[in-house]
Amino acid sequence: MADTRMTPQGPMTDDEMRRAFGFATLDPTEPVVAGSVGTWRLVYTVGEYGVDDGGTLVISWRFATDWAKPQFGNPRAPDYTTITTDGSAVLRARFDIKGGTRPWRKSIVIDVVDDGLHAGEQVVLTIGDTSGGSPGSRAQTFCEDTFEWRVQANPFATGEFIMLPDRPEIEIVSGPAARLVAIVPSLAATGESVEVAVKAEDEWGNPAKGYAGTVSLQAAGLDGLPNEYTFTADDAGIHRFPVTVATAGATRVSVHDEALGAAAVSNPLVAGEDPPAQRVFWADPHGQSEETVGTNTAEDYVRFAREYACLDVVGHQGNDFQVTAENWAEFQRLAREFTEPGRFVNLLGYEWSGNTAGGGDHNIYYLDDDQPIFRSCHALIPDKSDLASDRYPIERLFDELRERNGIAIGHVGGRRADLSRHDPEVVPAVEIYSAWGEFEWQLTESLAMGHRVGVVAGSDGHKGRPGASYPGASQFGAYGGLTGIIAPELTKRAVFEALRTRRCYATTGQRIALDVTVAGQPMGSEVTATGPVPIAVSVHGTAGIRRVDVLRGDRVMHTHDPLAGAALSDDTLRIIWSGARILGRDRATIWDGELHVDRATITGVEPYAFDGPQEGLTEVGASRVAWESLTTGDEDGLTLRLSHLEGARLVFVTAPARFALGLGTLGREAWVKDAGGIAQRVTVQRLPDTAPPADVAFEFTDAEPAAGTNAYWVRVTQDDGGRAWSSPVFVER
C-alpha cells in the first residue's frame, strides 16, 4: 500500500497530491560544476485545486548554499530571474533569505494576485535568464550530491503550505584543478615512516577529483619521495606518498605542476633524532552536515575529514534543536566506527545551541560514545517524547557533563557564548577562530574574568569540507580554522585529555608548528613562580613570520620582529583592514572601496589575505586600486609598490574608514586608523626589503610579573595573514 501524507484535505498518496496540488520539474538536471554560470528552469504545473488569488508558491534552498542571490530587476546583470505563467494571474516574485523553515531558509517567494491559477496551467521560474543580456546565474560553489529545490504551495490562500511530493534535485560536482596542496605530519623522528599527501583543488576549494596532471616533488630530508608522479582516475584528486624521515630539522615538500602553472609548499615537518614525547595532531572539531544545517551526510563529512582534509581528529557539531534520536544514534555509530587508534579519531559531540540569554552556543564533546544528548530545546524536532532530557539553561547542562566525562567549549556563530556562565570543571577552552571569523576577544574577556581556559579553532563549516573549509561566496567570511592537539598518541582518550588540560592551540587553518613553554612548562599548565618568568617560543610557519607577540592577559609584553634590523623598502607598503562590526550574528564589516595615490605612480599591487574568489582586487591602475572585501575579525588587504614614497600621498576610501596620508614620514611602526566596531582598523606600514623567515625561535623574560595569576600566551602572525594562538600558561605569583 502506498505511503500517505497528511494534507489540508486529509491523508493522500504522492500521486493523489500531484493531482490535487500540482508538481514541479527542473531542467536541466545534469551535474553542475561548482561555481559555474548557467540557466535553470523550474516548472510548476498546477493541480486540480488550483492556487487561489492571494495564494503563494515558495521555492526553497538550504541555508548553507551560496548559490548567487536571484534578482528580478536588471535583465543585463548576473543572476537575473524571471517568473511567467500561461494563465491570467499576475505573479510577483522576491528573494527572502529567511523565507522558509530552517534549514530550508533561502527562498524565492511568488505571490499570486489579480486572479488565481487554474488546473493544468504552468508557472515557469527561470534562474539565470539570459534573454535580456544577463550572463546567467552562478551556481553553488561547493559539491553536494543532492542539491534540492523544495517547492511548497499555499493553494487556498490560508497560509497553510503544502510540500509538493517531488523535490527536483541536481548534483554539484568539482571543477578543474586550479591549485595544489601538500600536507605532512608536524612532528616526527629520524628513521620514522610518514606520509606526504598531495591533492588538487578547484577554484573554490573542492577536491578536483578528475585531476590527471603530472607533479614534480622535492624535499630535503625525506627518503622515498619520487621526483615525479602522474595522477590517475583512482587517485580522485589526492595521492599519498610513503616516505622515511632521513634528517633532523624542519622539512617542507615542494610540489609543482608546470602544465597547470600551480605550485605548493607543504607545512613544516619538524624532526628530531628521538621520537617526540608529544605529537601535534590536527583537528577540525566543529562542523555540521545535512542532518542539521549543513550539506551532505554526517558520514560524508567524516570521510572527507579523514580522506581529503588529512585530519587526525574531527568533531561533528550538529545544532541540538535539530538532532533527532535517529541522528544521534548515527553520530554515535560514526564516532565508534571511524575512530582508529593511531590513524584517526572522531569525537562524539553536538552544539548546545541555547539562546545567549541561557548561556549561548557551546560545543559539547564526550570521551565515551554511548552518552546521551542533552538539548537546549526541541524547536525543530517533531518527536517531543523525550523533552525531559533537555537541559536549559547552561548550568543544568554543566551538571550533566561533570558526571559523564563531557566538556564544553564556548563558541561564536550565530549565537555567542555567555562567557560569564562558566564552570571550570567542564569548560577548558574557548573557540577563537572559525569560518564565522576571528574572536580573540573570547580569550581576553575570559582571562579578565579569571577563567583558566585554553584556545581552539575550527571551521563550523556547513559545506561538507571539514579541515579544508573555504568560505565560498556566502556569509561565512573566513577560511576555517584548525586546532593543534598536543598529545603523546592518537587515541580518543589522549585527544580528550589534551583538550581537557588545554594542551592545544589554534590557527587560522594553516598547520603552523608552535611550541611555547613558560617557566619550562607547556601550554595549558598551571605554575607557581617567585621571580622573573622565562618564556621560550619556537615557530615553524607555512609562510614567513611577520611578528610574534607575547601577551600577559590582554597586554602585549613583548613583540618579536624577525626583521627588526632589516632596512626598510623605499617603495613598498602593506595596507591592511580588519575587524568586525559587532559581536553578534551580523558581524561582517564590508570594506568594498578604493585607494588613490597622488604624486607617485603605482608600479605593482598584490592581494593580501583575501579568503576566496568572492573577494579581491577589482581594478588596478597607475593611480587607483579598487577591491571587494569583507572581514569578520580577520585581516584583508594589499601590498602596494610605488615609484617612490617621498612626497606621495595615499587617499583611502571605504565605508568604515576614510583618510588621506602622506607617505614620506612612514617609519618602521605601522600607522593605524581606528574604525570603531570590534577592533575595526586600517594599518599602513612600510615593509622591509627582506622577506621574513619561516622559522623563528626566541626567549623573553617577564622580569616583573604581576601579583596573583598571570596568563601568558603567544600570537603568531605570518606574512600571508595566517595566525596561530597558543593556549595560556597560568603562572601564580
Domains of the chain, by residue range, sit at: 4-173, 179-276, 280-509, 512-565+695-733, 568-688
Per CATH, the number for 512-565+695-733 is 2.60.40.10
**Which three cell numbers, joined as nine digits, stand for 324?**
533527532
**What CATH architecture applies to the domain 4-173?**
Sandwich (2.60)
Residue 278 near residue 488, CB atoms below 8 Å: yes
- Radius of gyration from C-alpha coordinates of the chain: 27
Task: Kindly give the residue spans of alpha helices, DSSP state H, lying in 153-227.
Answer: none
What is the distance between the alpha carbons of residues 433 and 510, in angstroms, rounded to a whole number?
12
- pLDDT per residue over 26-55, tens digit each? 999 999 999 999 999 999 999 999 999 999
d(CA 417, CA 298): 25
The superfamily in CATH containing domain 179-276 is Immunoglobulins (2.60.40.10)
∠ Cα 177 179 180 (to 5°): 105
Which residues 6+ apart lie within 8 Å of 48 measured at CB?
Answer: 19, 20, 119
pLDDT the model gives residue 473: 82
Distance CA 375, CA 326 (A): 14
175 Cα distance to chain centroid: 20
Say how far apart CA 194 and CA 15 lie, in whole Å: 57
Answer whether 4-173 and 512-565+695-733 agree in fold: yes
> What pLDDT is recorded for position 656?
97
Cα–Cα dist 140/100, whole Å:
19
281, 495 in Cβ contact below 8 A? yes
61 forms bridges with which residues in the sheet?
106
Domain 280-509 has CATH 3.20.20.140: yes
- What Å distances lie between residue 54 and 91, 154, 157, CA to CA? 10, 9, 5
> Quick one: pLDDT at residue 2?
65
Can you say whether residue 147 is alpha, beta or left, with left for phi > 0 and alpha for psi between -120 and 50 degrees?
beta
Q: For the chain (length 733 residues), average pLDDT per consecutive 10? A: 80 95 97 98 97 97 95 98 97 94 94 96 98 98 96 94 94 98 98 98 97 97 97 98 97 98 98 96 97 96 98 97 98 98 98 95 97 97 96 98 96 91 97 94 97 97 95 83 98 98 98 98 96 97 98 98 94 96 90 97 96 91 97 95 96 98 91 95 96 98 94 98 98 94
| Strand spans (E) along 383-460 | 406-410, 429-434, 437-438, 454-457
If DSSP codes are grouped into helix, strand and coil, which group holds residue 341? Answer: coil
Query: Quick check: 589 and 680 in contact, CB under 8 A?
Result: yes
Residue at 337: amino acid letter: E
Predicted pLDDT of residue 506: 98
pLDDT given for residue 612 in this prediction:
83
Residues sharing a CB contact under 8 Å with residue 10, sequence separation 6 or more, in sequence order: none
Instruction: Count CB atoms within 10 A of the CB of residue 646.
Output: 13
> Treating both helix axes as pointing N-terminal to C-terminal, what angle do 325-337 and 298-307 enclose, rounded to 10 degrees?
20
pLDDT of residue 6: 87
Whole-prediction pTM value? 0.96
Q: What pLDDT score does 555 carry? A: 97
